[in-house]
Structures are given as structure tokens and as C-alpha cells.
Amino acid sequence: MFQHIPVLADEVISYLAVQPGGKYADGTLGGGGHARLLLEASAPDGQLIGTDRDEIALAAARENLAEYGSRLLSFHANYTELAGFIKTHYADGADGILLDIGVSSPQIDTPSRGFSYMHDAPLDMRMDQTCGQSAKDLINTLPQADLRRIIQEYGEEKWAARIADIICERRALAPIESTFQLVDVIERAIPKGAREKDTHVAKRTFQAFRIATNDELGALEKAIDDLVGALKTSGRLAIITFHSLEDRIVKNKFKYLAASCICPPKLPVCTCDKVSEVRIITRKPVTAGQHELKNNRRAASAKLRVVEKII
């Protein structure tokens, strides 16, 4: 069953200021954990629009949330499409929108999905298995320079150049098709003495190709503007991230949307005509408390940021 414990559950409901009868949206429905909380907090007649690009996750969410009937509208779609669904079904916009970014525990724990370096499986890594290129496609076709950039930027791996070189050497002999074949390449590239003691040698590279395969950072950058536009005035957007690359995008985007002027500091008169669109609710990211960390290790890297629309 596609289920996982929703992180920062109490904080999400509190910071979204969920009210009975409100109209909400969850762009990363997953197994329906956060969605259930939103539906319960907005009872008896609150509504929720949910999207997920993973068909398996969407089917599980529909089953898990069947008791809420027509209060839930769910769609097989990337969260980059969520704003369109909100504008279609909520004439005045949403009261609150949630994104819980990144790969889910069930996706990692299902060997056949190819997300995990702990199981031998085809190199897929697609969250939506109905479309797009797989990690195998990228690894076996991209030029060395692009491979290096992906591993370096998305995985923050200092051995990116060496890994990219060996990928190219290996695929010249035969395609790299499985997770363990990629792990073997990475192990060849990184000397034992240079490996981090508490981190699997392949962790950073697998993260990098997962992000690239699913265009995770590009999708996040694109979605934030659209989702703020789909909020009603005083509506809130909450985004949970799990690594620094995502969090940096959210932080900087929220800061830009909240700014009333982006002119150079030395310019005597504002000429940019920029206006504040949101108010930042969380000046620092909200993180899990000790009680949650004891019960859910996944929460350790979770960061929640929230803004409120003011125009």
C-alpha cells in the first residue's frame, strides 16, 4: 500500500489556518496523509483539489480518501498544473495550497521504480511512469558535460567529473541499465578513502539523476508564481522541502514575491514598479520537533515555508 507518515502535520494545518468550509489544494497527494488532515480540519463541507504525477500514489490516495466523497477532486497531473484546476473549480481561488516536494518513502521502497541504490532494478526514477525520459535514457545519451553538470549541481557531488567520465567509458561498451550498474560506476569513481562515512557512496548521484529525470527544480520554480496567482486574497501557500536546493528556490522566490522594490540599493528613486504580492509568514523554515523525529526519520530534513497572498 502506498502510504507514508505526513511530515509536519500539525504545523501544516496551523500555518495554513485551515477553516471549516474552506477550499484547499494539495499538489503532491501521495498516499493522502496531508490531504486527510486538510479534509478533516475543513469539515463538514470544506473542499480539496489534489494532484499527483504518480498513478500508483493517486490510486492509493483515492482509495484512502474515498470516505470524503465529492469533497475531494483528484487528478493525475504534475503540480505545475494545479493552478489551472484551482481556477477551474474554485471561482474565488483557494484558501490554502500545500506542496510536499520530493520523492516519497513508498517510491524509494519499491525496488522496481529504480529510485533506490539499495536494490537492483531498472534505472527508471520517473515519478510519472506514463511519460518522459527515464534516468537510464539520460545516463546513456547525455554528453559528458551535461552528466557532470547534473551530478555536480543537483547532487552537490565533488567527484562529478570522474563519475561522468566513467559513465561515458562504461556505456561505450554496453548501456548502463540497472541501479547496481550505476552504483558500480560510482564506486569505481570515488576512492574508498574519500567516501563519507555515514552516507552511501551513491546517494548524491542518485539524487541528482532523480531530480534531473523529473525536472524537480524547474517544476518548483515554475509552480510558485502560478500557485500564488491561484490563491484568494489572504490565502496561504505552504511548501515542504527536503534538501537545500529546493529550500533555496522556495526561500528566494518567496523573498522576491514579498519585495516591494527590486531596484539597486544606490538608486535614489524607485523605478521598478514592483509591488508586494505576499507576506512571509515563516521568517525561518519550520522544522520537526523531537517527538516527531522519534517517530518519523524522514522528517529530519523537512523544512516548511509559508506565505500569505496580500493582493
Q: Is 90 annotated as a binding residue?
A: no
Q: Is 32 annotated as a binding residue?
A: yes
Q: Is 46 annotated as a binding residue?
A: no
Q: Is 92 annotated as a binding residue?
A: no
**Full strand arrangement of the beta sheet holding 23-26:** 72-76, 47-52, 23-26, 94-100, 231-241, 303-309, 278-280
Q: Is 291 annotated as a binding residue?
A: no
Which amino acids are annotated as binding site for S-adenosyl-L-methionine, given as ranges?
A: 32-34, 52, 79, 100, 107
Instruction: Output the known binding site.
Output: 32-34, 52, 79, 100, 107
